[in-house]
Structure 1
Amino acid sequence: MTIAATFPLDPTATPTSAAERAARMVDPGFGRVFTDHMAIAHYNATDGWHDMAIAPRSPLTVDPACAVLHYAQEIFEGLKAYRTAGGPALFRPDANARRFQASARRLAMPELPADLFVESCRALVRSEIDWIPDSDGGALYLRPFMIASEAFLGVKPSADYVYMVIASSVGAYFKGGPKAVSIWASENYTRAAPGGTGAAKCGGNYAASLAAQSEAIAKGCDQVVFLDAVERRYIEELGGMNIFFVFDDGSLATPPLSDTILAGITRDSLIALARDRGLTVREERYALDQWRADAASGRLVEAFACGTAAVVTPIGSVKAASGNFTIGSGGPGQMSLALRDALVAIQRGAAPDPHGWLDRL
């Protein structure tokens, strides 16, 4: 069997009508409009990966003792498919496949072969191609994930797993272009500690960020940024995004990857694009007090967060118990927008793709 035939289509008996699909895609927002099908595969030690298919999207039936419900053994990914002049294309699915494997190793889960990961995404996009919005900024967001499915009570790796990919039609994250957000720098909560799961894309990391995010909202901020768990000084990442700093000499800095920071694919792409332009990008630790001082002196001119959903999110102001500050003019910066536009142009097939990031179907 060829890899392209490993996820055969089992079409739904009740497809969404073209009229209903069009109505739901007028203003889909993010993560609210789901397609008719999903990719699915099962794993156990005896059979390995088996029963792979593109199947009708439907609710899951799990035993109340299902391992994922009690011990949170699960991982996920996020990537997008775009309409381009040459047809639909995924952006760097191979990088997501490698990160999915790394997350699986950290959570003591079986590694899904990279070719199966990529083909599951490709097969699902082929079946759901009509769900990719035509609107400016629209895309098909894919959410691959794996859960422990064995029914038992006891702290050990599960014997059984289910892998799935669901798809959601999404619109532009920011209508009218990216807007600068306000950030709450949490000096009480931490997202991850050395030796923990911070570099894995697992739900527990996001659950751990929610109390701090709620604190940020209560302080009138849009997002929260976390400090390191050891010294409580150094900027690490937001609840779901990496962060960059832009200085008055045109250079950029971003916290170095570690076992407490997720290796963002958007982060990696922006570093490559900046260096393509001859810009200096440093991967180095940057303290909250230095961030405040550099913003006050004018040495720091921009800051932005990045991730799959919004691509680039400019940061205009920071609040913290130790003092508030504004970055530059408080609005989106030129470097932030230029790098975002360059990346989006490649993702949509509107610019050359020198790194071979587009996976055209």
Structure 2
Amino acid sequence: MSSESAASSLSITTTPSDHPASPERLAEILADPGFGLHFTDHMLVAEWTPDAGWHDVRVEAYGPLTLDPAAAVLHYAQEVFEGMKAYRHADGSVHTFRPDQNAERMVRSCRRLALPELPVPDFVEAVDALVRTDERWVPDASEGEKSLYLRPFMFASEAFLGVRPAQHVTFMVIASPAGAYFKGGVKPVSIWLTEEYTRAGRGGMGAAKTGGNYASSLVAQQEAMAHGCDQVVFLDASEGRYVEELGGMNLYFVHRDGRIVTPATGTILEGITRDSIITLAEKSGHPVEERRFSIEEWKDGVASGEITEVFACGTAAVVTPVGELRWEGGSLPSPVAGEGPDASVGAALRQQLVDVQFGRAADEHGWLHRVV
């Protein structure tokens, strides 16, 4: 039984915003929301101290924070976050997708960053409270793959310059309507292989969802863009041979016999979309191997035809095909099937997952959590 089924202990107060978006402005935003550009009328805030635990949990008007210049997060980056979505179904109901898994991952991230743990039921209820308050911001089910993106996060808010775990921590949830990631259809991304930068090493923070991991990827992403590529792929820090992940997405390699190989976790993030894709792939007759996967195996496999498809997954894009791989002094065309749900393994799995999320297919695994 999922730990989500336990009752939340949070006492949440709600103070409605006195300046909500007008119906006309909201309709304008939802017509073309983009990603991370517009935010809902409210936000959820909770405080933690060693003596009081989690307290003062409230939904209030979205707005700027007042943060002391000595707040520990600004100096020592003690922070974690999650990314998830709320989906409106054809009957008007609103659901989140596997929120207990996001909650459990945040617990693991908190342990790595020495932050207080927010119990799984409390995390789920906090997200639910904001979604219920701002339900009108969840796009209509008939509008493609639009959804409400949810960003729970936690940071060290104590004003103290000593290097130790913070004694005052703030947890928040904000929400932003999101359009389809790929306008005009899913398109392959070109990948730059960085041989100078690594993302995480053994014992590091690679498996935690913390802002520092993303900050460390930006210079490599700049390198990729300078070489005309959309994304960057990192190799392991120890030997510089084994494929880890893209800047924010997990990779899959489809073989000629139908099996799929994906790099093992440990120094990479345990993605909820990644886990869902593995489950759907195995049910669809594609055995999945989670193991170390070298860059030589990638290059040789594509060259020989042993690898027939490469794709990546993440919360925002769901699944995207991987196109050309480039590196200093060379490149490799990756086999990419045509568009459509039956054109490739990745496309078929993407359609299966999206259909479950939007309520168009049966939820056989109990992944959906009804909020409204």
TM-score (norm 1): 0.97
Q: How does 1:162-181 map to 2 (within 5 A)?
A: 162-181=170-189
Q: What is the Cα-based RMSD across aligned positions, in Å?
A: 1.3
Q: How does 1:65-84 map to 2 (within 5 A)?
A: 65-84=70-89
Q: How does 1:301-312 map to 2 (within 5 A)?
A: 301-312=308-319
Quote the residue 1:109 is aligned against: 115
User: Is 1:194 the counterpart of 2:214 in the alignment?
Assistant: no
Comparing 293-302 with 72-81, greater Cα deviation is found at 293-302
Check conservation: 1:39, 1:55, Cα contact below 8 A: yes
Distance 1:10 1:283 in 2: 47
Change (3 A) 1:76 1:329: closer
Check conservation: 1:143, 1:166, Cα contact below 8 A: yes
Distance 1:5 1:340 in 2: 35
Distance 2:10 2:227 in 1: 52
Of residues 328, 352, 372 in structure 2, which corresponds to 1:342? Answer: 352
Q: How does 1:200-349 map to 2 (within 5 A)?
A: 200-258=208-266, 260-321=267-328, 323-329=330-336, 334-349=344-359
User: Is 1:127 the counterpart of 2:137 in the alignment?
Assistant: no
Distance 1:350 1:331 in 2: 23
Deviation at 1:191, TM superposition (A): 0.3
Gaps of 5+ in 1: none
- Letter in structure 2 aligned against 1:18: P
Deviation at 1:355, TM superposition (A): 0.7
- Letter in structure 2 aligned against 1:291: W
Deviation at 1:323, TM superposition (A): 2.3
**Identity fraction in percent:** 55
Which 4+ stretches in 1 moved above 3 angstroms?
2-5, 329-333
Deviation at 1:329, TM superposition (A): 4.3
Deviation at 1:301, TM superposition (A): 1.0
| CA deviation string 1:33-80 (max 9, x = no partner) | 110001110000010000001111110011111100000000000000
Distance 1:139 1:8 in 2: 25
Pairs aligned (count): 359
TM-score (norm 2): 0.94
Quote the residue 1:20 is aligned against: 25
| CA deviation string 1:231-264 (max 9, x = no partner) | 0010000111111111111110100111x11000
Distance 1:297 1:99 in 2: 38
Gaps of 5+ in 2: 1-6
